């Protein structure tokens, strides 16, 4: 347990109250004050990182999470929070590294494999994206969002049959999933045009 001046604890609680009210600027100000009073206040750094994230100040969030890890040692929750900030700032290699640390430190979590798969996808490593989505589905076999993500990765690999199957599964699981409907429609159009081109080619021959 941290031994903290009561005033630092007070400002951290004020920051938490502001955060809950979605006053993220006010929350940062209170966490700043808590950290000024108690420079080793781990939770104040972590919570300020969350507030910076909500303000889309991703680099500041990354700095706060780095301070938290330096003070507290390896924590899965801090690694995946920093990974989210890296992802949002398009630093996909760093996001993947932090998601990997979180996976190593925690019991297997479907969503962690899913979000790491999304980072692999953004990096253009579609095979690794598929592998992570497969692991995610092993842990949560009915997750429409993971089926959709894997379908997009399959489509990027030009494995259209598997992509279509995954889009169908996403829609079967969550019929109101608009993006899955849109991606399936695009894929069916690609397949229709490919079929027309093949027919045209054979007719010319």
| Span 102-146, pLDDT tens digits | 999 988 899 999 999 999 999 999 999 999 999 999 999 999 999
Same domain, 5 and 102: yes
- pLDDT recorded at residue 204: 47
- The mean per-residue pLDDT over the stretch 22-42 comes to 97
Same domain, 88 and 180: no
Last residue of a domain, one of 76, 106, 136: 106
- The mean per-residue pLDDT over the stretch 42-67 comes to 98
- pTM to 2 decimal places: 0.90
- The mean per-residue pLDDT over the stretch 82-90 comes to 98
Same domain, 100 and 42: yes
> DSSP assignment of 35-72, as one string?
HHH-TT-HHHHHHHHHHHHHTT-HHHHHHHHHHHHHHH
Q: State how many domains the chain has.
A: 2
Full domain range(s) for residue 33: 1-106
Tokens of 62: 């990354």
Same domain, 115 and 82: no
* 134-168: pLDDT as tens digits: 999 999 999 999 999 999 999 999 999 999 999 99
Last residue of a domain, one of 106, 124, 143: 106
Same domain, 85 and 118: no
What CATH number has the domain bearing residue 20?
1.25.40.10
Same domain, 51 and 41: yes
């Amino acid at each position: 347990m941290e031994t903290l001046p009561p005033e630092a604890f007070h400002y951290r609680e004020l920051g938490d109250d502001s955060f809950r009210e979605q006053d993220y600027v006010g929350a940062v100000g209170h966490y700043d004050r808590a950290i000024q009073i108690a420079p080793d206040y781990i939770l104040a750094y972590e919570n300020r990182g969350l507030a910076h994230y909500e303000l889309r100040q991703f680099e500041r969030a990354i700095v706060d999470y780095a301070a938290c890890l330096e003070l507290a040692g390896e924590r899965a929750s801090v690694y995946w929070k920093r990974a989210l900030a890296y992802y949002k700032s398009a630093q996909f290699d760093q996001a993947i590294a932090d998601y990997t640390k979180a996976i190593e430190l925690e019991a297997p979590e479907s969503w962690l494999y899913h979000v790491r798969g999304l980072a692999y996808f953004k990096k253009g490593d579609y095979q690794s994206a598929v592998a992570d989505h497969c692991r995610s589905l092993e842990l949560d076999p009915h997750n429409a969002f993971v089926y959709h993500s894997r379908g997009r990765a399959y489509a990027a690999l030009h494995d259209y049959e598997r992509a279509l199957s995954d889009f169908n599964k996403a829609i079967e699981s969550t019929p109101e999933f608009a993006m899955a409907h849109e991606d399936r429609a695009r894929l069916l159009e690609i397949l229709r045009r490919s079929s027309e081109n093949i027919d045209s080619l054979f007719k010319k021959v």
